[in-house]
Structure 1
Amino acid sequence: MLAITACDSFSSGSASPLKPIPGHVPAEPRFDTADELIAALGKEGIDCGVLRRRQGQVGSGSGLDCVASIDGERFENEVSVFDTGVVAEDEIGRSIASRREEPYEHTLVAAGNWYIRVLKPAYAPQVAEALDAVVLPPLFPLPDIPKKPRYKDLDSLADALDASVGCEMREREKDAADAMTCVTQRSEEPCAYLELHDTSAERDDALRLAISVPELPRFIVTAGNWSIQFCDRSLGREAADDLGGVVVS
């Protein structure tokens, strides 16, 4: 798969339809080259050493593969920057979609005129935060998710969970304003991770990212504008029944 370049994944003669860039992908920042992008990443404390450079279609942009390190863990990234004077944004959208679908099912970080394939999805949120971007996980199928109930804030969601399987010792996540952990019944440590989501698209991306990281198995319950990840399957099933949610696992 490393031999497949992002810049080769679209062409004016492609049989696949053009697609818009997902609406929640920020319009900025934009970069002229892949080197400029990894320099910006380095300024935020994530150095990414160049392994190899990739040549896509002439004049379409630039790409390279690099290796970064977070908390002592090394992981590779495929960086693709597109020249929007040559490449239409709907062509970038088509390239993004093809990367997220079968057979590739890649996890991307995207904004502006670029995206990065993060080979270890667990580190994609930190890469996205460093570049003011968003994570676009693989387009795994999801069940039909009820539109309700919805909650106005995390405390309301936590109260509903507390009435079901407990939610004590609540602690807000430092790097996520709309996320919280708490201790449930039959657990001595935080066993529930609660999130509120601004849009259905952001909720679905959060769900898909959670199930794309095999190192962190989770039992997830969701509906409306919220999701809860449990470390205990039996608690998750009970909460799903009580809160009117569906299971994603």
Structure 2
Amino acid sequence: MWIHSVSWQPWLQLFGDRGYHTLASDWPGDASTVAATRAHPRRHLDVGVDAVTDSYARVIESLPDAPIVVGHSFGGLIAQKLLDLGLAVGAVCISPAPIKGVRAVPLSLLRSSFPVLKSPTNKGKTVSLTERQFAYSFGNAISPEESAELYRDLTIPSPGRPLFEASSANFRRNSPTGVDTRRGDRGPLLLIAAGKDHTVPAVVVRGAHQLYVSGGARAELRTYEDRGHSAPFDHGWRELADDTLAWLDDHDLKP
């Protein structure tokens, strides 16, 4: 949410140079550029977790082989769902939005979600962050200047529905954010937490990891103590990308 897929371009270049076939598909309703997406915010009204998951499932169906999926924030939640559905051979999830069953609700998570959750009508609307809201939710671990630059270059309006679905997940029998954490037959999963993350604090990612460990499913956890929610696309992106490449190599997930 709130970040255009163009943010993945450095990763695509790096992984392509290492022999991987790469792509970064947009969410339903997003246009091909940041400017065009901002100009037509109503194109993704009422898009929820299932709609996003289904859109990526259709992309995967067009590929010759099941892919490795890498996602950030709500993209990390979607990546776990795709792995759970058997559509991916492995998944790397950076500061993933909480799956159903995670109980931790830190104050900073609530504050980061407030631009959407403050009004029930936002469930069917698109919402944009102000520069100040972005600085708190994404840019708190980087300089104000870099935060402002990322806000200007990458942010887009996003549907409010996914945040409502995540916030109510533990009160619903069937939630779009549900994942079967007891399956041991899926591919490897790496969960990455950022120690200074306001939007998805590390305790939330640890909660997801504990669900997998308790259920007997394969999952690893890594924490970058000095990083925030902008970690995969700020000046320090290369550290996460290089470590991801090494993890894939360790698990024989090679191009």
For the aligned pair, the TM-score class normalised by the smaller chain equals under 0.3
Q: TM-score, normalised by structure 1?
A: 0.23
Q: TM-score, normalised by structure 2?
A: 0.22
Determine which structure has greater relative contact order: mean sequence separation of CA pairs < 8 Å that are 6+ residues apart, divided by chain length. Answer: 2
Greater helix percent: which structure? 2
Greater strand percent: which structure? 1
Higher-Rg member (1/2): 1
